[in-house]
Structure 1
Amino acid sequence: MMKFKTSLFALLLLALTAMSNIASAENYTLWVNGRTGGGVVGDYTSFTYWGPSSTAAGVNKKAVNWDGYNSISSQNGKIRDALDCFCTGNNWCYIATHSAGDLMMGYTLANYGSSSRLKKNAVANSSGQCGNSDGTAQVGWNIKWIRAASGAGGGSELSDAGSWALTEPLVKDLKTTTARAMYNHNNTANVWFYMYAGAKGTLYSGILPGQDDEAVAYHSSGGVSGSSGSSLCNPSDWFCNDLTMGTVNNEGGSSKWAFHSVSFRDDNEAYNHYASGNWLGIVSVVRTAMVSSAL
Structure 2
Amino acid sequence: MKKLFSAVILAVTVLVVPEASATNYTLWIHGRNSGKTQAGNYNDFSYWGPSGTAAGVNKKAVNWNGTQKVGSENGRIRDALDCFCTGNNWCYIAAHSAGNLQIGYALSLHGGSARYKKNASPNASGVCGNTDGTTQTGWNIKWVDVASGAGGGSELADVGEWAVSEPLVSDLVTTTSRSMYDHNNTRSKWFYMFAGAKGTFYAAILPGQDDEAVSYHSTGGVSGSSGGSYCNPGDLFCSGTLNTGTNACSDGRAKWSYHSVSLRDDGEAYNHHANGNWAGIIGPVRADVVKYAY
Which bracket does the TM-score occupy, shorter chain normalised? Answer: over 0.9
Q: Report the AA paired with residue 71 of structure 1.
A: K
Structure 2 partner of 1:113? 111
Q: Give the deviation of 1:29 after TM superposition.
A: 0.2
1:25-104 superposed matches below 5 A: 25-36=22-33, 37-104=35-102
Alignment-derived partner of residue 23 in structure 1: 20
Distance in 2 between the 1:23 and 1:273 partners?
Answer: 39
Indicate conservation of the 8 Å contact 1:43/1:127, yes or no: yes
Deviation at 1:204, TM superposition (A): 2.7
**C-alpha distance in 2 between matches for 1:42 and 1:236:** 45
CA–CA distance in structure 1, aligned partners of residues 50 and 289 of structure 2:
16
Paired residue secondary structure (1:76): helix
Number of residues paired by the alignment? 276
Residue 266 of structure 1 aligns with which residue?
Answer: 265
Match of residue 195 from structure 1: 193
Whether contact under 8 Å (1:205, 1:215) holds in the other structure is no
- Give the number of the structure whose alpha-carbon radius of gyration is greater: 1
Q: Which amino acid is the alignment partner of residue 278 of structure 1?
A: N
CA deviation map 1:135-168 (0-9, x unaligned): 1100000000000000000000000010001111
The Cα of 1:54 is off from its aligned counterpart by 0.2
- The SS at the match of 2:95 is strand
TM-score normalised by L of structure 2: 0.92
1:183 aligned counterpart, secondary structure: coil
- 2:10 is matched with none
- Consecutive unaligned residues of structure 2, counting only runs of 5 or more, are 1-16
Q: CA RMSD of the aligned region, Å?
A: 1.1
Q: Secondary structure at the match of 1:63?
A: strand
Answering whether residue 129 of structure 2 is matched by residue 151 of structure 1, we say no
Corresponding residue of 2:237: 239
C-alpha distance in structure 1 between counterparts of 2:224 and 2:81, whole Å: 28
User: TM-score if structure 1 supplies the norm length?
Assistant: 0.92
SS of 1:170's equivalent?
helix
Q: Could you tell me whether the CA contact under 8 Å between 1:145 and 1:191 is conserved in 2?
A: yes
> Identical aligned pairs, as a percentage?
66
Q: Please identify, of 31-40 and 243-252, the stretch whose mean Cα deviation from structure 2 is larger.
A: 31-40
Matched to 2:212, the amino acid is E
Q: Which residue of 1 aligns with 2:282?
A: 283
Q: CA deviation at 1:24?
A: 3.1
Separation in structure 2 between the aligned mates of residue 133 and residue 252 of structure 1, nearest angstrom: 50
Structure 2: how far apart are the matches of 1:76 and 1:129?
13
Q: Is residue 21–residue 90 contact of structure 1 (8 Å, CA) maintained in 2? A: no
Q: Give the counterpart letter for 1:23 in structure 2.
A: A
